[in-house]
Amino acid sequence: MSTMVRMQIYIKKGQSLLVKREAKELGISAAEVIRRRIDVKPSPVRFRTRPNPAAIKPFFDLIEKRKALGQAKKGWKWNREELYEERMSRYGR
């Protein structure tokens, strides 16, 4: 058995209830539930998002549209209000 180190932590009331419930169901101490949860390593896929090309396509379409209109030759030539008006017109507002 490895050496144990005593720690005191604060958790939310709901978290405490969940720990106690799981401990009772498994027949182990609340501390053991917490230790087991700490030892569980998340899978890399769990927190990684996959790129979604469709999500950024409208942005690239807008850039191409501005280029075609000659508005993006030397940097951005529009202001926030113009972009807002263009966006609202797309949604019929």
Domain that holds residue 22: 13-43
* Residue 6, in any domain of the structure: no
Comparing 43 with 11, which gets the higher pLDDT? 11
Given a cut of 70, is residue 93 above it in pLDDT?
A: no
* Residue 4, in any domain of the structure: no
Whole-structure pTM value: 0.44
Rounded distance between C-alpha atoms, residue 78 and residue 51, angstroms? 28
What are the CA-CA distances from residue 59 to residues 1, 36, 47, 56, 85 (Å)?
A: 56, 45, 25, 5, 15
* Residue 69, in any domain of the structure: yes
